[in-house]
Structure 1
């Protein structure tokens, strides 16, 4: 099945839109195929502001309608206590709210940007999507991450080379309670590093410290800039640590 065939059969749908590579291409393709689609972005403390900015920019560039749902992810104790299956409860919350908003706009079919490279397995988040009957056209049509980046580049989408960016909650170790303060500190730290030109890195919480993970080609620069990095991040952390094992995407 091609995306053209998918949207010929499913011409009206709501799209869970993150502003990342996959959901951006899905939204673009749906519009190009003439489908009646509406994008929904769930804004919680888990998403940094730049993700919402990117989502708005992309939706406007492809001429798609976008609704931003302001949600409190930490209102769920199952999410805040951060168990190993936190993602399951978080997806339930987000997609439950998305389905209600979409239904109010007359949409019953919900789509997401899971692609054919994603490990569906029995991951908590994937299980939640299956239980809520969310469909993944990119996966159903066999489109891999590499193909989606290539097609996005050909389409002129600015997201084509955007690094993968997991939500801020993934920086907090399983079992450590997630608080707004921890998330805000992470966003500040990663925002400052982005402003310095670093990409595809992570600032992870480790016993009150910031553990910085950079790709191999950025490690030497981070070492050279260690004084500035420590000065910028230290107010929010007990210590700033550099992981010398290169981060792999």
Structure 2
């Protein structure tokens, strides 16, 4: 199936629902979905963004800007994951608690605005990693139009480029709680350390960033092609000094570079099948 055919199928799938509230993070997938849905549904579409200590300020500002540029009705809600019982202890199914809370709150927004369906931006590629949040989506009857239409991440980026969406080449992003090893307590001060560290590296011009929080140790992941930017004494000193000011004692660069779900590498194959 060609990209144009997939896009037509996507819009047909969206149109068949009549109205929707979309979980909108401002990332590649949800921005593309909001654009496609707005073309079909118009004012029967609502983009809903949830703020919390796991969602960086820069991402919120971008989501607001994107929604404004697309002319989409945009509602911002608070969904503080650390207030959810069990979440802060960072269990392996942490994302289940988060998504259940998020989609439950979006369902209330949808009901208050006379909207029937809830959409998320999951695509075909999201079925390949450990994602317990999908269980919450199924339980709450959340629809994944991108997945239904057979769209991959690469498809979404290419279609976004053709549609002149600013997110077409935006680096992948996941909430800041994904930076902690399972079983490690997540706190607001620790999340702030991660956010500040990642913002510092972004300001340096590094595009794909993960600052993994291992207690006293910061494990920095960047895209494989960006690793060479660290091989300079002055750059390494600046990063080390900044991260120690933030609160880390040791600062390391992951030799393998960034890869999706690196914190899941400790899980057994059996655990990863529990999606």
TM-score normalised by L of structure 2: 0.87
Q: Distance in 2 between matches of 1:229 and 1:13?
A: 44
The answer to whether the 8 A contact 1:24-1:58 is kept is yes
The residue that corresponds to 1:237 in the other structure is 248
CA distance in 1, matches of 2:167, 2:37: 16
Conservation of the 8 A alpha-carbon contact between 2:22 and 2:120: yes
Cα deviation for residue 121 of structure 1 reads: 7.6
Q: 1:10 pairs with 8, 11, 17, which one?
A: 17
Aligned residues of 2:19 and 2:41 also touching (Cα < 8 A): no
Task: Say whether residues 1:125 and 2:133 are aligned partners.
Answer: yes
For residues 78 and 118 of structure 1, what CA distance do their matches in structure 2 show? 24
- Classify the secondary structure of the residue corresponding to 1:39: strand
Q: What is the CA-CA distance between 1:120 and the residue it aligns to?
A: 6.6
Q: Which runs of 5+ in 2 are unaligned?
A: 1-7, 261-275
Cα deviation 1:8-30 (Å, max 9, x = unaligned) = 21121111111011110111011
Segments of 5+ residues of structure 1 without an aligned counterpart are none
The answer on 1:28 being equivalent to 2:41 is: no
What pairs with 1:86-235 in structure 2 (closer than 5 Å)?
Answer: 86-119=94-127, 123-224=131-232, 225-235=235-245
Separation (CA, whole Å) in 1 of partners of 2:149 and 2:23: 18
Number of aligned residues: 249
1:54 to 44, 62, 73: 62
After superposition, what is the alpha-carbon deviation per residue over 1:150-206, rounded to whole angstroms, capped at 9, x for unaligned? 110111100000111111001111001100000000000000110000111211112
Task: Provide closer, same or farther for how the CA distance between residues 175 and 6 of structure 1 changes in structure 2, counting only shifts above 3 A.
Answer: same
Paired with 1:34 and 1:90, the residues of 2 have a C-alpha distance of 28
Q: TM-score, normalised by structure 1?
A: 0.95
- The match for 1:19 among 17, 20, 26 is 26
